[in-house]
Amino acid sequence: MSIKPLADRVVVKAAAAEATTKSGIIIPDTAKEKPQRGEVVAVGEGRTADSGTLIQPQVKVGDQVLYGKWSGTEITIDGDDYLIMQEKDILAVL
């Protein structure tokens, strides 16, 4: 995929609504505020902190991740929907 997120942004492919992960995590889409699950498809080069230090992202392409319900902005690439969000919206790697 040719998209390169800027700074500490990440592109995520949202998982199907009701899915159980390999490691058994159930993410009922309907549940109120419950975090959502998806796969990382593109990662930025990281954020330059005020000290001038480049802070590397902790996630990588292919990671299954949990992110806050309303995180990110929708974009469509080749007819597929993705979310582009900041890494700080990602809660955990599964």
Q: Among residues 17 and 88, whose Cβ is nearest to a copy of itself? A: 88
CA distances for 62 relative to 32, 54, 88, angstroms: 27, 22, 18
Residue 73 in contact with a copy of itself, rule: CB under 8 A: yes
Pick out residues in 33-52 that bind a copy of itself (CB under 8 A).
33-35, 42, 44-45, 48-52
* CA pair distance 50, 70, nearest whole angstrom: 28
Report if residue 76 touches a copy of itself, rule: CB under 8 A.
Answer: yes
Closest separation between CB of residue 62 and a copy of itself, Å? 14
